[in-house]
Amino acid sequence: MNIEHLKLFVRLATTHNFSQAGQELGISPAVASTHINKLEAGLGVRLVHRTTRHVSLTEDGKAFLPHAEEVLASVEAARSAVGAGSAVPKGTLRITAPASFGRMHLMPALV
């Protein structure tokens, strides 16, 4: 089971539209449909009813939705717990200021 597929399923349950759900996640409707097909195949059940204009959840889809939301919340909580307090700033800091400010304030702080 793929986390991205779960995210898509949850968005699809909200939007009822492959195009909109896919757009929100940065994928095409065709890829979104393929991801849902893979999720359904992995679970061995149909999660959504598809028509040309509308998508709705099956009974299995309705039963699966709260579990998918819980898994995504747990994954986000785990990511937050791991990254909390350990972010080390990196990169280049550019400061535009008069040269006198640099000599008086920045140089003493850096030395």
Could you tell me which residue, 14 or 79, shows the higher pLDDT?
14
- 100 within some domain: no
CATH of the domain at 10: 1.10.10.10
Residue 105 tokens, joined? 């304030």
Q: What is the pLDDT of residue 102?
A: 82
Q: 98: left (phi > 0), else alpha (psi -120 to 50), else beta?
A: beta
How many domains does the structure of the chain reveal?
1
Q: What is the pLDDT of residue 110?
A: 81
- 106 within some domain: no
pLDDT digits (tens, 9 = 90+) for 65-105: 999 999 999 999 998 888 666 667 788 888 888 888 888 88
- 89 within some domain: no
Q: Round the average pLDDT of the chain to a whole number and report it.
A: 89
The residue segments making up the domain with residue 47 are: 3-83
- 78 within some domain: yes
- 103 within some domain: no
Closest CA to 33 of 9, 66, 53: 9
Q: Determine contact, residues 46/52, Cβ cutoff 8 Å.
A: no
